[in-house]
Amino acid sequence: MTQKIRFTKMHGCGNDYIYINTMEYAVPDPTTAAIAWSDRHKGIGSDGLVLIGKSSIPEADFSMHIYNADGSEAMMCGNASRCIGKYLFERGLAEKTEIRLLTLSGIKTLSLHINNNKVESVTVDMGEPKTEDESLFITSRGLNQGTFVSMGNPHYVIFTADVDQVSEIGRMLEHHPAFPQRCNIEFARIEENGHIRTRVWERGSGITQACGTGACATAVAAVIAKQHTRRVEVVMDGGTLEIEWREKDNHVYMTGPAEFVFDGDIEWSKL
Q: Which residues are catalytically annotated?
A: 77, 211
The angle subtended at Cα 186 by Cα 189 and Cα 194, nearest 5°, is: 25
| Selection from 137, 189, 182 nearest residue 163 by Cα | 189
Q: How far apart are CA 227 and CA 131, in angstroms?
A: 16
Provide the residue type at 58 as one letter: P
The angle subtended at Cα 140 by Cα 137 and Cα 144, nearest 5°, is: 50
Q: How far apart are CA 23 and CA 243, in angstroms?
A: 32
Contact between 144 and 159 under an 8 Å Cβ cutoff? The reply is yes
The angle subtended at Cα 121 by Cα 120 and Cα 124, nearest 5°, is: 155
